[in-house]
Amino acid sequence: MKQKKNPNLKVAEPANLEKLKKAARKRKRDAMKKWGIIAVLAVMIIGGTYLLIKNQSYTTVREAATYADETSDTNRYAQFADGIVRYSRDGVVYLNRKNEEQWISPCQMQNPVIDVNEETFAVADNGGNSILVFTEEGLKGEIETTLPIEKMSVSNQGIVSVILKNENAPMIVSYDATGNVLVEHQVTVSSTGYPLALDISRDGMTLAVSYLSTKNGALKSKVAFYNFGEAGKSKTDNEVGMEEYDGKIIPEIYFMDDSTSVAVSDSSFIIYEGTDAPKKQKEVELNQEIKSVFHTDEYIGFTLLNKKKSGYEARLYNKSGKQIMDKAFSGEYSNIKMIKDEIIMFSGSKCCIITKNGVQRFKGDLKAEALEVIPTFGVNRYLVMSANELRVVYLTK
C-alpha cells in the first residue's frame, strides 16, 4: 500500500550559525542594558537618599551608645588615625572608638599641648622641657629641651621643631624622635624679630616660621622658610626664603600638604607654593575681624565677625585662594575645627555643624559637656567625648 505524504511536514533547513550568534549577542546586550539601567537607578536612589540626609538640618541628638570610664576632669582629647588620644598632666592614652585603652604612657607635665600629623603625634609640656613622640603603636621617643618650650610642631617621621624661650635670644631647634639635635638656630631678635609660630612639613624637610618685630613703633612681620635638604645646604642657616609684611601680625602658619603652606595675619592670609624654596602665590585680604582659623588638606577656613548683622560667618577658600563658601551663624563657640567636609563648632554642650557647601547640618544641644566631637562610621553619627565617658550620638529632627 502506497504511503501518502503529509503536506504539513517540511524538511528542516540547515541551521544558520551566524543568525544564532547575532541573536545570542542581542539577548546579551539587552540583558546588560537592563541590568545597567537597574544599577544606575539603584546608585541614583542611594546617592539621592544620602545627599538628602547629608543636606538635612537637624536640631537634636539621640544616644546610640555610651562607654563610661572614670578619669580625670583635666583630660583633653584629639583625633588620631582610627582612634582617640586622651592626654593630661599624668600621661597619654590611646583609645579605640569604644573608649577602650589600647596603650598607656605615663608622664608628668604641667601644661600638656599636642600636635597631630598623619602617622605621628607629639605631646609637649608647654613652658617645660619634655616632649613625647608617639605613633599608633605607642611611644616612639622622648626629647628633653635645654630651654622652656613655647611652640612645637611634629612631622610624619617624628622630627620635632620647637621655639625655645630665652628672653631676647630665643632658639629654634629641630630634633629627631629620640632627642638628637638635627638643626639649631639662634634667633637674633634685633634683626629678624621674635618667632611667633612655626610648622614643619610632613616630610620634615621644610620649616616655616613667622617673626614679629617693632622698629620705631612700627610693626613688621616676616615669614621665613628653612630647607634641611639639598636646597638649603648652601644657604646660611638653611634659609631658602623670607618675605616681609609691614603693619601685620602673623600669629599662625601651617602646611596644608607637601607643597602648599599658608601664613595667617590679623587681616589676611598668604598662600605659598613649593618645597625646596616656597614662593608667595597669593595674598587674600579679609577685611573682617578674624575670630578663629582652621584648615584641612583642601580648605582654608575662618570664622569672621559678621559685618552686615550680628553674629559670625564661616568662610572657606580653596588652595588657590578662591572663596567657595560663606555661611552666617549665631552663637559663641570656643572649639572650631574642620574634618573632611564639615566645620564642627562646639562649646560645652552647644554644637553647630556646617558643611563645605554652606548647609547648617546641626545646631542644638549634645546633652553632654563636650571636650571633643568627632564624626564616626555611619551617616549622621558622631563621637562626643566628655570628662568621663564617650557617647555615640546620631542627629535627628
Task: Kindly give the pairing relationship between strand 239-246 and strand 252-255.
Answer: unpaired
15 pLDDT band, cuts 50/70/90, is low
Worst-scoring range by mean pLDDT, 4-8, 17-21, 250-254, 262-266?
4-8
Rounded distance, CA 391 to CA 69, Å? 11
Cβ–Cβ < 8 Å for 265, 250 = yes
What three-state secondary structure class fits 236?
helix
167 pLDDT band, cuts 50/70/90, is confident
pLDDT of res. 44: 61
For the chain, the average pLDDT equals 90
Question: Cβ neighbours of residue 184 under 8 Å, at least 6 residues apart?
Answer: 171, 172, 173, 174
Global pTM?
0.85
Rounded distance, CA 140 to CA 213, Å? 37
Per residue, what are the HEC states of 312-365? EEEEEECCCCCEEEEEEECCCCCEEEEECCEEEEEECCEEEEEECCCCEEEEEE
pLDDT of res. 339: 96
pLDDT digits (tens, 9 = 90+) for 31-60: 777 777 776 666 665 555 555 555 688 999
Worst-scoring range by mean pLDDT, 49-58, 78-87, 132-141?
49-58
Rounded to a whole number of angstroms, the distance between the first and last alpha carbons of the chain is: 93
Residue type, 38: I
Worst-scoring range by mean pLDDT, 51-55, 284-288, 320-324, 381-385?
51-55
Cβ–Cβ < 8 Å for 288, 307 = yes
Report H helices in the chain.
Answer: 17-54, 230-233
Rounded distance, CA 94 to CA 77, Å? 10
Cβ–Cβ < 8 Å for 306, 331 = no
pLDDT digits (tens, 9 = 90+) for 168-202: 889 999 999 999 999 999 999 998 999 999 999 99
10 pLDDT band, cuts 50/70/90, is low
Worst-scoring range by mean pLDDT, 41-45, 64-68, 265-269, 352-356?
41-45
